[in-house]
Chains A and B, each alone.
Chain A
């Protein structure tokens, strides 16, 4: 049963510390998404990648957040320095997008999330 995995599941850190969250997409998927979920803002798209190249990171605060895909099996989201307002659940999702087709089968598979608390 293929699943998206995320580590760590929970992270508590102090303001100013660096936080790295990792995601392993489903093997064969070519698109990876990072979302943030809070009570106030709901589900926000931070960034996404296609074939490891960043397509859109406009939802991400550029001064402190960075997202990368070092290889096809690993996506990372880094916050440096972290702030209390970054406390949220961060989800990774992966999918397979068929380009050039009018109706993309763009189902996304979500990981279990990383619950981040910045004190």
Chain B
């Protein structure tokens, strides 16, 4: 069945380091792809999205490119801040509106 797999965390980085969180998916169709972020004590918030192959989603310095050939949607940021510490979820969605989430990756950024 359709699924999303993320790299296991926690990921611990120093401030201003480069971030990559890997995400791959399996799907029978052509899903939309999303990254959500969850800050401590809060609900999930949409960080960025891409609706078709080769689209690049970007927001707040984060980027991810929809790669159909490698079925991937890796999240990147050039220079992380302490305030980026959170749990990041990769997800795919189809025509039903239902999202399939990965297991989440915890990012800890140290000053």
Contacts and interface: CB of A to CB of B under 8 A. Distances in A.
A50 B89 CA distance: 24
A99 B97 CA distance: 9
B49 A107 contact: yes
B103 A104 contact: no
Contact-residue bracket for chain B = 20 to 34
B51 A103 contact: yes
Interface in B12-50: 30, 32, 34, 36, 42-46, 49
Interface residues of A, number: 28
A108 B89 CA distance: 13
A51 to B, nearest CB: 11
Given A102-B30, A106-B32, A43 B89 contact: yes
11 contacts: A31-B97, A42-B101, A45-B98, A48-B97, A48-B98, A97-B95, A97-B97, A103-B51, A106-B95, A110-B45, A113-B43
Interface of B: 30, 32, 34, 36, 42-46, 49, 51-52, 89, 93-99, 101, 103-104
Interface of A: 4, 31, 33, 42-43, 45, 48, 50, 55-56, 91, 93, 95, 97, 99, 101-113
